[in-house]
Structure 1
Amino acid sequence: MGVRGETSRQGDRGQRRIALHQKRQSGLQCSPRHVSCVFASSIAQSFEAGRPRPTSTARTFADGVACREPQAEALEIILNGAAGILQVGEDEVAEAIRILYTDTHNMAEGAGAAPLAALMGERERFRGQRVALILTEGNIDMPVLRQILSGKTPVD
């Protein structure tokens, strides 16, 4: 069952709303996690504090999670719906992009590949559990994609 009025142009905020709405509608017992990058930690710090915690930098090539100052509405959605925050590094995100491209022929930017990076980093924790990843954000610049597919990690 889809949610009317939510489009990919609304970005991460709209995707969070859709995911949380579908969780409530499905009746499934699940524990959604939010994924952020280690060098863009304002959301993780804000989640831990229970209130906005801006940071001075957000140094990640994963543009969709490069947040220095959490927006109140987005943070409220995360605080009310996420069971926790998983943080990933740049190398892990780059590897997840490579895996998604080579194994599934899907292209993802850093933010879209971050959930797979988090799952790979926490594989023992989630072993034997049903896990769903939402692949979003296919908006990656060609020079960045070239670097990643050649085995490198872009430096922001």
Structure 2
Amino acid sequence: MADHTGVTFRDGPSGRRAALAFGPDVWEVVKVLREIEARGDAAIAATTEVLALPETKIRVAMHYYSAYPEEIDAEIQEADRLSNDAEQAWRVERRLLAWASRCCSTRCTPRLSPPPCASVATTSLRSQTRTNSAVSPTSDCSDGR
């Protein structure tokens, strides 16, 4: 790409994406530039420090973004969506582990049936997964654990 020297393309799970030669994807550089508190040349300097890249590579990513903002914005949105999905799954898993330790850690002996609070917690976890609501560390156990 003569117009964008220093940009290469990589294939991956999200398809073909623009990347800096021997560096991160362009969307990653743009995301850091957006999220950094500094503005103007200070933002470029801060991004070079955060990503450990020379200023020239940051400017290459900026130049590519200026030519193809929709492409890079879409990649950033997809990365944000995947990150949010992973965080939601982690929160549900953490809640499950907290529930299991409260309901079963001290009083339960191995048994074939679930503890008394299992049906309430399972229903609650399913509904939270469907609604993507925030998960709190409170117990769903009917016996107060």
Q: Confirm or deny a common fold (TM above 0.5).
A: no
Q: Which is bigger in relative contact order (C-alpha 8 A, separation at least 6)?
A: 1
TM range (shorter): under 0.3
Greater per-residue helix proportion = 2
Larger radius of gyration: 2
